[in-house]
Amino acid sequence: MDGRKLIQILWPAFVIAGAAEAVFFTVFDPRDLRLYGEPLEASRTAIYSVGFFALWLVAAASSALTIFFQRTAAEINRCPIPDARDRPVGCPRRADGGTCS
CA distance 92 to 90: 6
CB atoms within 10 A of CB 17: 21
Q: Of residues 87 and 61, which shows the higher confidence score?
A: 61
Query: Which residues does residue 34 pair with via DSSP β-bridges, in sequence order?
Result: 39
Q: Residue 19 pLDDT > 80, yes or no? A: yes
Domain edges within the chain? 3-70
Q: By C-alpha distance, which of 69, 65, 62 is closest to 13?
A: 62
Share of the chain above pLDDT 70, in %: 76
Report how far apart the first and last C-alpha atoms of the chain are (Å, whole number).
35
**Distance (Å, whole) CA 70 – CA 89:** 31
The whole-angstrom separation of Cα 62 and Cα 80 is: 26
Contact 90, 100 (CB under 8 A): yes
pLDDT in tens, 1-12: 788 889 999 999
- Report d(CA 95, CA 101) in Å as an integer: 16
pLDDT tens-digit map of 67-92: 999 888 877 776 666 666 666 666 66
